[in-house]
Each structure stands twice: as C-alpha cells, then as structure tokens.
Structure 1
Amino acid sequence: MSAVCAALAGDPVLAAHYADFRAKAEGALDPALVALVRQAVAAVHGIDAAPVDESALDEGTKLCLAYARRMPFEHTAITDAEAAAVVTHLGEPGFVAFSVVTALADAECRAALVGLPELAAG
C-alpha cells in the first residue's frame, strides 16, 4: 500500500476515489510501462536504487522512462519537443495517462519519504 493510500485509509470514500483514479490512469497504459515508470521515479527519489536494464526496451519506452525520470525535479525543463515525442509514442490519451501515472508515482514517493501516514494521523 502506498503512503498516500495509507494516509487516506481514515476516509474510505476519498481512499476509494483515489484508488479508482489511479487504477483508471494505470489501466490506460501497458502494465509493464506502468511498472517501469513507477520504478524509475522511485529510483530518482532514492527509494529504489536498482536501475532498470533498458537494453531490451524499444526506443519509445526508453523515451518515456527518460521523461518520467525528469518529472520529479526537472519538469520545467522538459521541452515541447520532448513531450511531443512521448505523445507520438503513446498517443494523446496515453500521454495524459502517462503524465498522471508519473505524477502519482512522484507524489507517492514523496509521501513515503516524509511519513505521510504518520502526519495524517497526527
């Protein structure tokens, strides 16, 4: 359970809405890409130190992972051309889902790092 989900456990309605939102975003993408994005973002935060072996990945997936790694701390430096390349690979709906998945992975990592469930309980 993510730190965000744990923090929302005291509000079952909000927790259900969050879980549904997350599931819909993740469901719009290939599950393997979702797992890779979540792992890449966790590695950026130092939570998951194991780097992904990208040698067998297609160029589009590599592009997505590079973009995902920049989202937590370099999002303002991502260019329109970089975003357009991800849109070309995933399509516009896929890009939106990818952006949500990446942002939620970032938020969940940050919540884990600051002990959000403990903060929410206090």
Structure 2
Amino acid sequence: MSAVCAALAADPVLASHYADFRGKTEAALDPALVALVRQAVAAVHGIEAAPDESGLDEGTRLCLAYARRMPFEHTAITDAEAAAVVAHLGEGGFVAFSVLAALADAECRAELVDLPGLAGN
C-alpha cells in the first residue's frame, strides 16, 4: 500500500476514489511501463535502485528519461521531449503517463515524510 493510500485510510470514501483514480491511470498503460516509471521516480528520490534499461526499446527509454525529470526538473522539460513521448504513447497514453509520473512522485514524497504517521494513521 502506498503512503498516500495509508494516509487516506481514515477516510474510506476518499481512499477508494484515490485507489480508483490510480488504478484507472495504470490500466491505461502497459503494466511493465507502469512498474518501470514507478521505479525510475523512486530512484530519483533515493528509495529504490534505478531500473535496468538494457534491452528496453528507445521509446521506453525516452519515457523513463522524462519520468526521471518530473520530480525536480519538470519545468525544464521541452516541447520536443514531450512530443517524443506523445509519439511513443499517443495523446491518451501521454496523459496517463504524466498522471502516473505525478502520482509516483507524490507517493514517494509521502513515503519520505511518513505521511501516514503525520496523518495519525
């Protein structure tokens, strides 16, 4: 369970909505990409090791490079970098990917500050 989900445990309705939103976001993408993006973002935060990119196709490597920039360099991402991810995933995939990276970042930050503990859970 993510730290965000644990922190929301006191409010079952909100926790359910968050889990549903997270699940729908992840369902819009390949499960392998979801796992790699989550791992890449966690590595930026020092929570996990970086994913092994050997054997990954160029499009997936582009996605991971973009995802690694989301936590601390999102304002420096260029239109060309975004367009490359759109070309790989399509518009809908890009939206889901962007939400996934943002949620992964938020969940890592929540874990690092012990959000469940701060929320009294």
Range class of TM-score, shorter chain: over 0.9
Structure-to-structure mapping, 1:1-122, within 5 angstroms? 1-48=1-48, 50-121=49-120
Specify every segment of 5 or more residues in structure 2 that has no aligned partner in the other structure, as ranges.
none
Q: CA deviation at 1:39?
A: 0.2
State how far apart, in whole Å, the 2-side matches of 1:43 and 1:12 are: 30
Give the superposition deviation at 1:51: 2.2
- Over residues 81-116 of structure 1, what are the superposed CA-to-partner deviations in whole Å (9 max), with x where a residue is unaligned? 000000000000000000000000000000000010
In the alignment, structure 1 segments of 5+ residues that lack a partner are: none
Letter in 2 for 1:17: H
Identity of paired residues, percent? 84
Question: CA separation in 2, counterparts of 1:110 and 1:39?
Answer: 14
TM-score (norm 1): 0.97
Where does structure 1 differ by over 4 angstroms across 4 or more consecutive aligned residues?
Answer: none
For residues 26 and 120 of structure 1, what CA distance do their matches in structure 2 show? 26
Q: How many residue pairs are counted as aligned between the two chains?
A: 121
Secondary structure of the residue aligned to 1:5 is helix
CA distance in 1, matches of 2:7, 2:109: 13
